[in-house]
Amino acid sequence: MKLHRFPLSHFSEKGRVLLDFKELDYELVERQLGLPQLGVYRLSGQRKVPVIEHEGRVIADSTRIGLYLEERFPDRRRLLPEDTNRRREVLELENRIDHVFGGAAPVAWFDAISGERDAVARLFDVEVYGVGARSSRVWAMAAQAAWKLPVPRHLAERAHRSTRKLLEELCHRLDDSSYLFGDEPTLADVAAVGLTFHLEFPHSRDLRIPALAGVGVPEYAEDEKLARFFEWRRAFYRDLLR
């Protein structure tokens, strides 16, 4: 099993969490933005990650990867309940988590560190940026320039609103049960854990920049109203992942 990822991609982290949750052995293949994305395209016919290779098959998209793992490894921890209605509810919430955190969480993080980008940038080596000698000079200049641009205020505010609203909803769910759908984790839990990657970087053996472990966006990770979610997420990494 190989997992192709971008080191700072939250969807890549969701894919990695899926494999860890299923207790599968895998090899990480680090990819970069820019010209190196051509390798992902040649492999999978599209440019996004995560992508897994397994026994001659290539599967792109984190949700499709989850469904593939559930079908291929039914004897491992289950991601979906057998009950049809419950399964549909889990997939609906997972889809909403993908859409909200998938789009808003990185924007909220990028906006939150607007005054610290130089310090954060120093943590990113050329492999993470993907602007080393193997990438084009044009891409390097574009990536560095984009990092310095502010997030438009209306986009930042929308990202913060949608991120907080969903976090509050998940907290309410977790007030009543151990996981988002009762006493057993599901695909929705994995999505929530992985896609909040930028809101608090996990203590994980595979975090590309170890110095970021435990670093969070204070507006969320240190908010007492959201404490239930982040405490639960830390326990998920500690107890269920490697």
Q: Do 150 and 219 belong together in one domain?
A: yes
What pLDDT sits at residue 242?
A: 80
The residue out of 72, 106, 124 marking a domain boundary is: 72
What pLDDT sits at residue 17?
A: 98
What pLDDT sits at residue 122?
A: 63
Q: Do 112 and 203 belong together in one domain?
A: yes
- Give 170-200 pLDDT, tens digit per residue: 999 999 999 999 999 999 999 999 999 999 9
Q: Do 41 and 99 belong together in one domain?
A: no
Structure tokens at 121: 């940038």
What pLDDT sits at residue 136?
A: 46
The residue out of 26, 42, 72 marking a domain boundary is: 72
23 part of a folded domain = yes
Cβ neighbours around 225 below 10 Å, total: 11
- pLDDT bin (cut points 50, 70, 90) of residue 44 is confident
pLDDT tops 80 at residue 60: yes
Q: Do 47 and 158 belong together in one domain?
A: no
The residue out of 17, 37, 72 marking a domain boundary is: 72
78 part of a folded domain = no
Q: Helices 187-195 and 62-72 meet at what angle, rounded to 10?
A: 140
- pLDDT bin (cut points 50, 70, 90) of residue 132 is very low
- Give 135-184 pLDDT, tens digit per residue: 445 555 665 666 667 788 999 999 999 999 999 999 999 999 999 999 99
DSSP run (H or E) holding 166 = helix 153-176
pLDDT tops 80 at residue 64: yes
Average pLDDT score over the chain = 88
> Could you tell me what percent of the chain has a pLDDT over 70?
84
Domain carrying residue 102: 84-240
Q: Do 110 and 222 belong together in one domain?
A: yes
CATH number of the domain to which 21 belongs: 3.40.30.10
Q: Which amino acid is at 30?
A: E
Residue 159: phi and psi, rounded to 5, are: -65, -45
Integer CA distances (angstroms), 103 to 10, 67, 82, 156, in order: 10, 22, 30, 11
> 3-class DSSP state for residue 151?
coil
pLDDT tops 90 at residue 130: no
77 part of a folded domain = no
Domain count, the chain: 2
Which residues of the chain form beta strands (DSSP E)?
2-5, 27-30, 51-54, 57-60
What pLDDT sits at residue 131?
A: 47
> Could you tell me what percent of the chain has a pLDDT over 90?
70
What pLDDT sits at residue 121?
A: 66
Asked which of 45-59, 89-103, 170-184 is least confident by mean pLDDT, the reply is 45-59
What pLDDT sits at residue 45?
A: 75
Q: How many CA atoms lie within 13 A of 71 on its CB side?
A: 7
What pLDDT sits at residue 140?
A: 54
Query: What mean pLDDT is predicted for residues 73-87?
Result: 97
